[in-house]
Amino acid sequence: MRALAFHLPQFHPVPENDQWWGPGFTEWTNVAAARPVFRGHYQPHLPADLGFYDLRLPEVRAAQAALAAAHGIHGFLYYHYWFGGRRILERPVNDILASGEPEFPFALCWANENWTRRWDGKDSEVLLPEQYGEEDDRHHLEWLATAFADPRYIRVNGKPLFAVYRAMRLPDPRRTTDIWRERAHQLGVGELYLCRVEAHADERGDPGPLGFDAAIEFQPDWVALGEPERQSRWWSYARTFGLVDRLYQRHRIFEYRRLVPRMLRKPAVAYKRFPCVTPGWDNTPRKPADSWIIRGSSPRQYRRWLRVVLERFAPFGPGEDLVFINAWNEWAEGAHLEPDRKFGRAYLEATRRAIEQAGG
């Protein structure tokens, strides 16, 4: 099994963020400002081993790769931002391609959503819209071909892996994937291995008719999560002190210990879908109101979830052995394997142990 972790590159300043949110804005801005919204709520999540890093530094990228490799992570799936030929947050991947360092596998996932004020909870305010078109599809693949040519780029049975976060946002997904495949052959890239990410309710179902080879499960799976928790010892405490109504008005709160068995009970699908797990979720740093919080995550429960997923998953074919983790460093969404001041390296150690226990 090859465990791949989603990787967010928004840990360095860029001109767009300086303009929209003020000089020096990065993911750390909201992370450090987060505060608990109820008694016992774990916020803020503050980094430990790697500190408040800047991804423009090669030493940081090398340290991330070394830490991941030492704990069983095969590679990173970097979010890739492309707006009609304009790339944002491109510096880390550009430097990785130009320098040849670190010697660590990677692939790209096109985060093809409008650039909005989601970093401060205002999703409806569009700052940079996505632009689609057949000519842009060709230009996009031409740039991607430079990344695919890198010997570290992750392949599935010899084919470069490329994921699309919102396939249904494409005006004609099948036309786009056909153009990509045709242009890849013209450029000498050869066959592609294309995946659509099942992060939203409209991104479910067989990806084959859309021109994709497989799907990637995304966790937390909000469709399968059900209603927020209402019956637990914690909620009994909250009711006693009159907190429940206010919390439910402002937040959707779930418990990790219920999330894991619920996800393990999900029915199998009839198409190729790579599994995914997450160490947690809490996006209150980005959305102080109307946030989604999965409370009570522990390294032990996460390790069990990952181990069972690894034991159950049978690769679909040569190289089709991928298992995804969301995420390596989604600090503002409470989904990170990177060490923090509360748990240290416990989630990384849990990852390594789960892979070892599953025979990986």
Q: Is 58 buried (19+), middle (13-18) or exposed (0-12) by CB count in 10 A? A: middle
Alpha-helical segments (H) within 270-360: 299-312, 346-357
Helix/strand/coil for 164: strand
Judge whether 247 and 38 are in contact, CB under 8 Å: yes
Specify the pLDDT at position 231. Answer: 46
Specify the pLDDT at position 307. Answer: 98
**What separation in angstroms does the CA of 163 have from each of 61, 152, 216?**
22, 17, 8
Taking the C-alpha atoms of residue 109 and residue 111, their distance in angstroms, rounded to an integer, is 6
Specify the pLDDT at position 9. Answer: 98
Half-sphere exposure of 300 (CA within 13 A, CB side): 2
pLDDT per residue as tens, the chain (360 positions): 899 999 999 999 999 999 999 999 999 999 999 999 887 889 999 999 999 999 999 999 999 999 999 999 999 999 999 999 999 999 999 999 999 999 999 999 999 999 887 655 456 688 899 999 999 999 999 999 999 999 999 999 999 999 999 999 999 999 999 999 999 999 999 999 999 999 999 999 999 999 999 999 999 998 898 877 654 555 555 566 555 556 655 788 899 999 999 999 999 999 999 999 999 999 999 988 888 999 999 999 999 999 999 999 999 998 999 999 999 999 999 999 999 999 999 999 999 999 999 985
CB contact burial 93-102 (16+ within 10 A = b; e otherwise): beebbeeeeb
Q: Report all structural domains of the chain as residue ranges with CATH numbers, in order of start.
A: 2-357 (3.20.20.80)
Q: What is the dihedral of CA 285, 306, 218, 71, to 10 degrees?
A: 70
Listed residue (315, 357, 333) closest to 6, CA to CA: 333
Listed residue (98, 66, 75, 80) closest to 153, CA to CA: 75
**What separation in angstroms does the CA of 86 have from each of 77, 129, 134, 177?**
20, 11, 16, 20
